[in-house]
Amino acid sequence: MLTDTLEDMCEDAGSGYRVHPAPGGLLLCLSTESGGLLCWDTRDPDPGAWPVVYLDEEEEVFPGTLTEPLVAEMTGTGPDLADFGLGDPKEWAWPFWGPDEPWW
């Protein structure tokens, strides 16, 4: 399911990446709240040297481990992987309360 999405995103971005299990293909490791995908670029034979590729509307490469883009996100310098705004609870909370919309 996400493999198809990853293949489509690679094609749309024109990145030339292949998708794992193809040799050197992108290996999906995380999907974001915004619909982006974080993948390891497995072209290097050393897994410790795999950069992280972020695919969304654009492509961004983070050298180093998966930790770096996540720390960048948490400190406000990342690629906006998550939406920190609460938004209107009527748009997201009411399904948790049952079939009726909340009173607020």
| Cα(80)–Cα(31) distance, integer angstroms | 12
DSSP at 43? T
Is pLDDT of 62 > 80?
Answer: yes
For 9-53, write each residue's pLDDT tens digit.
Answer: 777 666 678 878 878 888 888 887 777 888 899 999 998 889 988
| Cα(100)–Cα(68) distance, integer angstroms | 42
Element (H, E) at 26: strand 26-31
What is the 3-state composition of the chain as percent helix, strand, coil, each rounded to the nearest 5?
30, 20, 50
Whole-prediction pTM: 0.67
Sort strands 37-41 and 59-62 into parallel, antiparallel or unpaired: unpaired
| Cα(71)–Cα(101) distance, integer angstroms | 37
